[in-house]
Amino acid sequence: MSSYGPIKRGPKHTGASTRATPFGAPPSASALTARVKAAASGNPVSSSSSAAAAKQNHFTPFAANTGGKKKVTTETARTRAGQGFVFSHDLGQHILKNPLVVKSIVEKAGLRGSDTVLEIGPGTGNLTVKLLEVVKKVVAVEYDPRMVAELQKRVNGTEHAHKLQIIHGDFLKVELPFFDVCVANVPYQISSPLTFKLLAHRPLFRCAVLMFQREFAMRLVAKPGTALFCRLSLNTQLLSKVDHLIKVSRNSFRPPPKVESSVVRIEPKSPPPPVNFLEWDGMVRICFSRKNKTLRSVFNNKHVLEVMEKNYRTYCALNGVQPAPSDQVKEVVLKILDQTGLGDKRSAKLEQDDFLKLLATFNQAGFHFTGVGIDEPEDDESMD
């Protein structure tokens, strides 16, 4: 069968005008001959010749197996649906379309008329335009140039256009300006590095209201002794106060993600805790490498002891301290655990103050953890 739909021939020429077919004027003899030869050989007519023949004879090419319906690509379908372009799965683009959720986020951010708001991934601007109505300035960081153009098109010519500054780039790589509040529908694949880049920003901001995947959000607010408590929970809560605000259905997005979402509020602690975060994270990484084992079992691991001894000897050399003999390092480490009373405790059930106490005791004995590389099991939710 031809790759086109059925063609109805008109009557033989009798001097009167030829009767129109449902597709317009009948195709020329040359076009029919070309299609017949192509069908006989099993090769379709080239796309360029098909387009030329269609244009010449005013009829529309159809796919052979669509039952006479036009073949519509995914991109065409989404464009007709009013989306304008296909959203990128690789960039985690899920546009928040629910106006009630947008309103709730703006309200819970506690915005002031004098605020500068940082928005990460503004997309088509559904949240941006609401922020512009209530704050002094919005700085929007967007990676996708199509979204940048869409946002500019939407805001230009409005009374709030002068309040918007767009930074076109990768949020994890750009230098952030000053801001009072951060609001974002976060691309889920960069949730962890995004959170800790914000918490490392100086000067400190007032708060961040962020949309995360539900499970990630629950880990942020998890308490010791619960199934979701992990290194991510401990590190986030060391640097900030975290509250779960609202649950958001996947149907509130276009296109809908495969997971449910939640909005959380993160308020950095001011002043920050007096602890070297890299040092802290190195020790916590070891503790959560097997979070349900006792600390004595975790630190009695051969690889852990080798890493700790290397750091210990480096510290002693830099500070002119005589290190303990190699065969005594293990004994010193286990003695510290007994001294703190935490040797028989499990990381999954320890409070933040317990970890601070453990770190301080190790440091006093010359053991430091900056640069410690200990792999964590996948189910322990790494921050990376």
Q: Is the pLDDT of residue 2 over 90?
A: no
Residue 109 lies in a domain: yes
Distance (Å, rounded) from C-alpha 261 to C-alpha 250?
7
Q: Residue 94: pLDDT band by 50, 70, 90 thresholds? A: confident
Residue 263 lies in a domain: yes
Looking at the DSSP bridge assignments, the partners of residue 253 are 96
Same domain, 254 and 108: yes
Model pLDDT, residue 60 = 39
Distance (Å, rounded) from C-alpha 279 to C-alpha 281?
6
Q: Residue 187: pLDDT band by 50, 70, 90 thresholds? A: confident
Segment 159-186 mean pLDDT: 96
Do 346 and 294 touch, CB atoms closer than 8 A? Answer: yes
Write down which residue in 234, 268, 302 finishes a domain: 268
CATH number, position 315: 1.10.8.480
Distance (Å, rounded) from C-alpha 225 to C-alpha 212?
23
Model pLDDT, residue 241 = 98
Residue 172 lies in a domain: yes
Tokens, residue 26: 């009948």
DSSP of 162-223, one letter per residue?
GGEEEEES-TTTSPP---SEEEEE--GGGHHHHHHHHHH-SSPPSEEEEEEEHHHHHHHH--
Model pLDDT, residue 136 = 98
Q: At what angle do helices 29-41 and 47-57 cross, to 10 degrees?
A: 150
Same domain, 263 and 114: yes
Model pLDDT, residue 193 = 96
Same domain, 354 and 219: no
Write down which residue in 215, 242, 268 finishes a domain: 268
CA 93 to chain centre: 8
Q: Residue 58: pLDDT band by 50, 70, 90 thresholds? A: very low
Q: Which domain holds residue 24?
A: 1-71
Write down which residue in 237, 268, 299 finishes a domain: 268
Same domain, 251 and 120: yes
Alpha helices in the chain, H assignment, sequence order: 29-41, 47-57, 74-80, 99-108, 126-132, 145-155, 191-200, 214-221, 231-239, 277-287, 295-299, 302-319, 329-340, 352-364
Cα dist from 141 to 122, 201, 247, 257, whole Å: 7, 15, 25, 22
Residue 83 lies in a domain: no
Segment 268-273 mean pLDDT: 94
Model pLDDT, residue 54 = 41
Residue 88 lies in a domain: no
**Residue 26 preceded by cis peptide, ω within 30:** no
Q: Is the pLDDT of residue 167 over 90?
A: yes
Same domain, 253 and 109: yes
pLDDT tens sequence across 199-239:
999 999 999 999 999 999 999 999 999 999 999 999 999 99
DSSP of 103-139, one letter per residue?
HHHHHHTT--TT-EEEEE--TTSHHHHHHHTTSSEEE
Beta strand 164-168 pairing with 181-185: unpaired
Residue 334 lies in a domain: yes
Model pLDDT, residue 91 = 59
Same domain, 289 and 262: no
Same domain, 294 and 246: no
Residue 81 lies in a domain: no
Distance (Å, rounded) from C-alpha 15 to C-alpha 298?
98
Q: Residue 59: pLDDT band by 50, 70, 90 thresholds? A: very low
pLDDT tens sequence across 242-255:
999 999 999 998 88
Model pLDDT, residue 255 = 84
Do 177 and 113 touch, CB atoms closer than 8 A? Answer: no
Distance (Å, rounded) from C-alpha 374 to C-alpha 384?
13
**Percent of the chain topping pLDDT 90:** 65
Same domain, 264 and 281: no
Same domain, 103 and 239: yes
Q: How many domains does the chain have?
A: 3
Residue 126 lies in a domain: yes
DSSP 8-state symbol, 348 = G
Same domain, 117 and 179: yes
pTM equals 0.74
Tokens, residue 183: 């609001």
Q: Residue 95: pLDDT band by 50, 70, 90 thresholds? A: confident
- 3-class DSSP state of 141: strand
CATH number, position 227: 3.40.50.150
Cα dist from 272 to 195, 198, 229, whole Å: 16, 13, 22
Same domain, 196 and 304: no
